């Protein structure tokens, strides 16, 4: 039995949401099928793959299964005119934006090889991002009842800025979806939605580059995320 889980890392580069969705769901289906084919064995007693996908999407809004379409403030015609895609999907959470300068991460993990605790899984994803933001000298944290990662902006109209959104889905303990980390993301796109359905005027959306004061080296950022992910999840990226 392998004591340290191995995770296959793939950087998909720039990819449209539908293509990435089809790819991650195909991997997810393979992993679930593998579990079903080996149901008579204990987790770890048969070969099972895990994946961490990095991707950057062209502009797209996605709406989680618990979200409200009212939180999308553009009509279908306006979306088309601006070249923005829209997808209702099966993750948790409300509406969010994916686009240029944002690091989207899709961990597709068999949690029976890690831990069987959904709450801990989400907290671990948050912990990865808290550590990454901290590596740039910025304090990030959780806010009770608001999934994701936040920074404090005491001199702004909205005191708290969400720097990373998280939404997940699990089937037979295999994870799907993940995080959207605003690195060099143009924030104007968020004006067309009620981000994550949050209407509190004290909370807004921000990016690492805005808080850092300059554009962030994207490739260097990816390396830091990989390093922190391996540490928090106690796994080996291969």
On whether the CB atoms of residues 118 and 189 are closer than 8 A, the answer is: no
Dihedral (CA of 13, 204, 233, 48) sign: negative
d(CA 123, CA 170): 15
Contact status, residue 197 vs residue 71, Cβ threshold 8 Å: yes
128 Cα distance to chain centroid: 11
Rounded-to-integer distance, Cα 19 and Cα 233, Å: 27
Distance, CA of 178 to CA of 166 (rounded, Å): 6
In terms of Cα–Cα distance, which of 107, 98, 97 is closest to 129?
107
Q: What's CA 167's distance to the chain center, in Å?
A: 6
Catalytic residue chosen out of the listed positions 34, 164, 196, 235: 196
Give the separation between CA 33 and CA 55, rounded to whole angstroms: 25
- 196 annotated active-site: yes
Q: Which residues are catalytically annotated?
A: 196
């Amino acid at each position: 039995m392998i004591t340290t889980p191995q995770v296959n890392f793939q950087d998909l580069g720039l990819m449209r949401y539908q293509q990435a969705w089809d790819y991650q769901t195909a991997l997810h289906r393979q992993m679930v099928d593998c579990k079903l084919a080996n149901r008579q064995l204990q987790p770890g007693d048969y070969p099972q793959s895990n994946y961490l996908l990095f991707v950057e999407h062209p502009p797209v809004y996605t709406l989680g299964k618990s979200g409200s379409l009212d939180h999308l403030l553009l009509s279908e015609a306006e979306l088309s005119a601006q070249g923005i895609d829209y997808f209702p999907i099966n993750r948790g959470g409300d509406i969010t934006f994916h686009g240029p300068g944002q690091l989207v991460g899709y961990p597709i993990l068999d949690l029976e090889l890690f831990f069987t605790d959904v709450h801990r899984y989400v907290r671990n994803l948050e912990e990865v991002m808290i550590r990454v933001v901290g590596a740039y000298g910025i304090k990030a944290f959780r806010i009770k009842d608001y999934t994701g990662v936040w920074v404090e902006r005491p001199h702004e109209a909205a005191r708290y800025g969400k720097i990373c959104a998280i939404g997940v889905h699990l089937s037979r303990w295999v994870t799907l979806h993940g995080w959207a980390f605003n690195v060099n993301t143009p924030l104007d796109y968020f004006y067309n939605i009620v981000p994550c359905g949050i209407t509190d005027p004290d909370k807004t959306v921000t990016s690492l580059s805005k808080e850092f004061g300059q554009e962030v080296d994207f490739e260097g950022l990816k390396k830091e995320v990989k390093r922190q992910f391996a540490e928090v999840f106690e796994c080996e990226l291969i």
